[in-house]
Structures are given as structure tokens and as C-alpha cells.
A and B are shown apart, each in its own frame.
Chain A
Amino acid sequence: MIPRWITVAYFVYLASPIALLFIGSFGDLWLNSLLPTGITVKWYLEVAADPNFRRAFMASLFVAVMTSAACVVIGLPLAYAVFRAQSRRVRAAVRVLYQLPVAMPALVLAFGFILVFSSDTLPWLGSIWLLVAGHIVLWLPYFLQTVVADMQRLGLRVLEDAAETLGSTPLQRFFHIVLPALRLSVLSGLIIVVALSIGEFQFSNLIAGFLNRTYPVVLLQAFYGATGFACAATVILLALALIASITGAFAAQGAARPSVAGDER
């Protein structure tokens, strides 16, 4: 009985701010009352028409996509190297790397970037590519973690050994075995990266130039204006993150149970 009430209370605690945002985004007037009056979609139309938000939306997508691409190009070979690593020192170093984004606040990374890239030799502060670079540093470890864990779960090492004894070359093994076996793991890793990247505020707020501020950064400004407008803008961000995490959950489920795909064939 008591655990159930705790669950309900926790759910209410979790859901009520989101519910309020949702209600607020469709409310016409919201001044000094518990709930807004009137129903409207004008706030969504206003957000969609606002050039600042449109630009920020595109900037966020651009950063997320570029970070994802970098995760595949850099992260996949790196994950493979980590997975095959024999030495204990390498494994210890990798464990530290995994924990780094948790231990180190994005704020620290941002200050570091400001120090280095505001100098005359590297005057790149404000460039969107610098923003991408920072996001890679922040999210690559999450991608690695996901993919390396799946490599271990799949027993990729033995699969490769088997393929090798059956006569395949290293290149054939990579394209016939490693890549196809990992495609769902890569997908679920990327969705984590996209979800984290889209919602990131601390680092982007300090590093982004005025013309390539990301969505969460611009969102903060909205709260100085009309409440309904701010709510609608936030709901859009929330929807993006939800889509990413739901797709991610399905991809992860598919990766864990390849037989499901088989039964459908």
C-alpha cells in the first residue's frame, strides 16, 4: 500500500511541471490565477514564426547531427579498440573516461574552451564548429559506453574468431560481422547522444555565438516574455527529447531481442 502511494506521489511530482507547461502553452491568458483562461494555439504559431527560434532550432539540430556523425566516425573505431584492449592500464583509463562527463561539470569544460579559444592564436569562440567540438567531448563517452557494453553482450570477440577460422579477412569480418551485428547498438547510442545534445544548456550558453545559439539557450530568453509563449517553446523541446528517447527505447529493445525481427520475416 505504502509503496504504491510513494509511486503515485513521485509520478505527480514528476509530471505536474510538465502538465502545467502543457496547459500553459494552450492557455490564452494566465495572470495571477491557478490555471490560464481560454484555449489557443497562437503561442505555437508565434514560436514557429520567430526567426530567433527557427534559427536556434536549426542550430540545435545541426549540432546534434554533427555530434552523432563524429560519434560514429571517431567513436565506433574507438569503441572497437577499447573492446579489444588487452592491457589493464588501457581498461582503467577507459573507466576513468567513462566517468569523466559525470564528474566534470559542463561549466568547467566551457571555461576551458573560453580560455583557449579566445586567444589570438585560436580565435574560434562563437563558431558553431566549436560548439560541435564541445558536444563531442561531452557525449562521446555515453556513446562509447553503450556500444562497448553491447559488444561484450553479443560476444563479438567469439563471433570474430569464428568468422576468422571460417576463412574471412579482417575487412570482411568488419563489414560482414561487426557492423551488421552492431547496427542497433549504434542507433541506440546515437539516440542517447541526440537527446543529450538537444537538451544541453550550460555549455552551449557560454560557448555559442550570438547567431548560432542552440534551442535551450534561446528558450531561456523566452521566459522574460509572455508565459504562454515560453510554455509552447518548452513543450517543443520536450517533444523533441521525448521522440528521441522513445525511439531509443525501441531501438534498444530491438537490439536486445534480435529474434523479434526474425519472427516478423
Chain B
Amino acid sequence: MTDMPSVRVEGASFSYPGGKAGVFDITLDIAPGELVVCIGPSGCGKTTLLKLITGLLPCSAGRVWLGGEDVTTASVRSRQCGIVFQSYALFPHMSVWENVAYPLRVRAVDRAERRRQAEAMLDMVGLRGYAERLPAALSGGQQQRVALARALVFKPRTLLLDEPLSALDAATRISMRDEIRRIQKQQNIASLLITHDRDEALSLADRVAVLRDGRLVQIAPPQELYDRPADAFVASFIGRTNLIDGRVVAPDAVDTAIGRIVTPAHAMPMGAAVRLLVRPERIEPSSKETGENIFAATVVHDRFFGASREIELSVGQGMLKIDTTVRGAIAHVHLPRQAVQFLPTH
């Protein structure tokens, strides 16, 4: 039991009638206390995956386990998933504490005990003193906290959050992000959070799962995902990129539009078409004019953000984006050899 992941999805598929949309053959484990963030463009199947775990949609293939129990055919209410919906889905006619206590009410907990537990949860999410209000009298961030308290009060087997921050303004979003992480760690509950915001994914997650067109492309800790993306889609979805197409000319060199780039040693055959990834912040302005991977560059766009500059450069026959803290004029750039990665070409 202790070795079992809290959530296991194995080869789960679902397709909506008529359309191609859905999810296909998704396999995913969430360890106890782990927070997995699922990210992808809209329509990639993130919410569908969440509904398969909760049982709001049935798997057409594959299995779902919760806490070591196969729940593939179990009813929604028996699965005991705590869910925070995108719209919060607070019951408008119930007060804050009645909302939080609702899972206990349907479990026939007596009223005084319900009230006590709901108050304790409200304390934890920082809403002491709001018990008697109606949801409509709360701000978006406060409603979010009520939804979180309600999803946790019945000690669910997993916590699922469907774009919980998308309806909040920028400032509230960042403080709520930290708050969700704090509460999730404190409760030590296996959690899946869905988002389309890469900052949210990278800063919150123990592991990030990238979904595209209903398929799981890569699942990895944030750093690994950023440093070793599985393909060009993951690379550009999770950060800014320079994607450079070229042809292998030596065991450690590739000819590209910007010139001959020296790469880490590779095993590609001579003449093979390859795609290189270089992150903009890894490219340095250079004071030297010649040397390994040093190219003459002309500034095309220069955006100043205070702490850093995002610059687009014309290099050889191609373009490069760089992020730098250097203030002065830029005539040459250096691509460190170890900053160059190969991506699979499809």
C-alpha cells in the first residue's frame, strides 16, 4: 500500500463522440504528497484527463487506480476525489461554512461536528470569520480558498485542481499559487493541477506533464523538462527557444543558416537533417570577434525589461533570440558548445 502511487492512470483513453478530441493512451502516476502539474494548449485534453480520474467521464480504454484500489468502473461519489473547479462551483444558496461542510453533510456527520471541521478548514485557508457569508459576497481569491477547503475537508484520496488560478487577477494569482502549494504540502496529498500557464507549471510542480492533442508528450521535474525537452513542441511551450535546422557535417558540427555550429559530440550520420535547440539566455554577447561558435550579429529588435533585455539578432542567413543583462551594443554573439542540444525531427 505504501509503495503504491496515490493515483495511477494506465493507458487511459477517451474520445468525444463525433470529434477527434479526447485523450489517448495516457499513463501517469502521482506519488503520495506529490504535485503533478498538467500543462498543454487549450483543447489538448487536460480537463478530460481530470474527468477520467474523477469518473465524470468513463474511460473507453485503460484503468484508473486511487490509493491502490482499481476505480475504473467505480461511481464518481465513491472515488473520493477533492476537486477545485475552474469556476469554483460554490453552491450559491449556501453560506461559506455550509459549502465547506457539504461533503460531511452527505456523509451524515452531525451538524455541530460539521461546523467544527468546516471552521478548522476555513482557518487553514485563511478565511476565519467568513463562515456566515454567501459565496457571492467574496472576492475571486476568497471563493477559491472556500473551494479548496471544501475539496479537502473530507480527506479525499487526491486533490484535483482544474485551472484554479485562471480567473484571478495577476497579483492574486501569484499569492494564491504559493498558498495552494503551502496547503498541498501541509495536507501531504497527491495532487494534479491543470493549467495552460508555464510559469505556474514550472514554479509549482514536483513534476510537469505536457499534453498535446490528447497525448502525454513528456513528464519530468521542471528543471529536467526545461533543460532536456523531449521535442520542439515541449521546448517552445515551456520556454523561449531558438530552433535551428541544419545538416550534420562532422561528429561535432552542424551547418545551419547562421553558420557552422560546433556541438557536443553526437552519433548522427553525416548529412543527416537535425534540429538544434539553444535557449536565449544561454547565448552571450561576445567581445571577441573570432573563435568557436562566435558569430557576427546585427540587432533587429531590442526590448528592454529593466533587469534584462530580449534582443532579436540577424546572424548569417538566420535569426537568433537572446536574453541578456548586458547593456551595451552587440556586434558578436557566442553560443557555448554545451548550450547546444539536438531535438528529434519528426
Taking the complex as formed, is B225 at the interface, i.e. its CB lies under 8 A from any CB of chain A? no
Q: How far is the CB of B294 from chain A (nearest CB, A)?
A: 57
Among A154, A159, A164, A172, point to the contact of B76 (Cβ < 8 A).
Answer: A164
Interface residues of A in 175-204 (CB under 8 A from B): 176-177, 180-181, 183
In this complex, the member of B80, B89, B105, B132 whose beta carbon has the largest number of chain A beta carbons within 10 angstroms is B89
Q: A163-B102, A181-B93, A259-B136 are in contact. Are A155 and B87 (CB under 8 A)?
A: yes
Contacts of B82 in A (CB 8 A): 165
Interface residues of A in 153-171 (CB under 8 A from B): 154-155, 158-159, 161-169
Interface residues of A in 62-109 (CB under 8 A from B): none
Q: In the docked arrangement, what's the CA distance between A164 and B83, Å?
A: 10
Contacts of B80 in A (CB 8 A): 167
Q: A161-B56, A166-B106, A258-B134 are in contact. Are A180 and B85 (CB under 8 A)?
A: no
Contacts of A181 in B (CB 8 A): 91-93
Among A167, A258, A259, A265, point to the contact of B106 (Cβ < 8 A).
Answer: A167
Interface residues of B in 58-100 (CB under 8 A from A): 76-77, 79-83, 85, 87, 89, 91-95
Instruction: For the complex, count residues of B whose C-beta is within 8 A of A.
Output: 30
Among A161, A167, A262, point to the contact of B136 (Cβ < 8 A).
Answer: A262
Taking the complex as formed, is B20 at the interface, i.e. its CB lies under 8 A from any CB of chain A? no
Taking the complex as formed, is A261 at the interface, i.e. its CB lies under 8 A from any CB of chain B? yes
Q: How far is the CB of B51 from chain A (nearest CB, A)?
A: 9
Check B137–A166 contact: CB distance below 8 A.
Answer: no
Contacts of A154 in B (CB 8 A): 92
Q: In the docked arrangement, what's the CA distance between A265 and B95, Å?
A: 10
Check A169–B134 contact: CB distance below 8 A.
Answer: no
* Per-residue B-contact encoding for A231-265, CB less than 8 Å = 1, 0 else: 00000000000000000000000000111011101
Q: In the docked arrangement, what's the CA distance between A231 and B51, Å?
A: 63
Check B76–A165 contact: CB distance below 8 A.
Answer: yes
Check A166–B154 contact: CB distance below 8 A.
Answer: yes
Q: How far is the CB of B142 from chain A (nearest CB, A)?
A: 13
Interface residues of A in 133-161 (CB under 8 A from B): 154-155, 158-159, 161
Q: A154-B92, A259-B136, A265-B132 are in contact. Are A164 and B56 (CB under 8 A)?
A: yes
Check A261–B134 contact: CB distance below 8 A.
Answer: yes
Check A176–B102 contact: CB distance below 8 A.
Answer: yes
Check A161–B85 contact: CB distance below 8 A.
Answer: yes
Q: In the docked arrangement, what's the CA distance between A258 and B91, Å?
A: 11
Taking the complex as formed, is B150 at the interface, i.e. its CB lies under 8 A from any CB of chain A? yes
Chain A residue with minimal CB distance to B92? A258
Interface residues of B in 116-139 (CB under 8 A from A): 132-134, 136-137
Check A177–B91 contact: CB distance below 8 A.
Answer: yes
Q: In the docked arrangement, what's the CA distance between A146 and B69, Å?
A: 44
Check A158–B106 contact: CB distance below 8 A.
Answer: no
Among B85, B107, B134, B137, point to the contact of A158 (Cβ < 8 A).
Answer: B85
Q: How far is the CB of B109 from chain A (nearest CB, A)?
A: 11
Contacts of B103 in A (CB 8 A): 166-167
Check A180–B93 contact: CB distance below 8 A.
Answer: yes
Contacts of A163 in B (CB 8 A): 91, 102, 106
Among A155, A166, A262, point to the contact of B134 (Cβ < 8 A).
Answer: A262
Q: A159-B89, A161-B56, A181-B93 are in contact. Are A169 and B106 (CB under 8 A)?
A: yes
Check A165–B83 contact: CB distance below 8 A.
Answer: yes
Check A162–B106 contact: CB distance below 8 A.
Answer: no
Taking the complex as formed, is B54 at the interface, i.e. its CB lies under 8 A from any CB of chain A? yes
Q: How far is the CB of A87 from chain B (nearest CB, A)?
A: 10
Residues of B within 8 A of A (CB): 54, 56, 76-77, 79-83, 85, 87, 89, 91-95, 102-103, 105-107, 132-134, 136-137, 150-151, 154
CB pairs A–B below 8 angstroms (6 shown): A164-B77, A167-B77, A176-B102, A176-B105, A181-B91, A261-B134
Closest 6 CB pairs of A and B: A262-B134, A259-B136, A162-B89, A166-B103, A168-B106, A180-B93
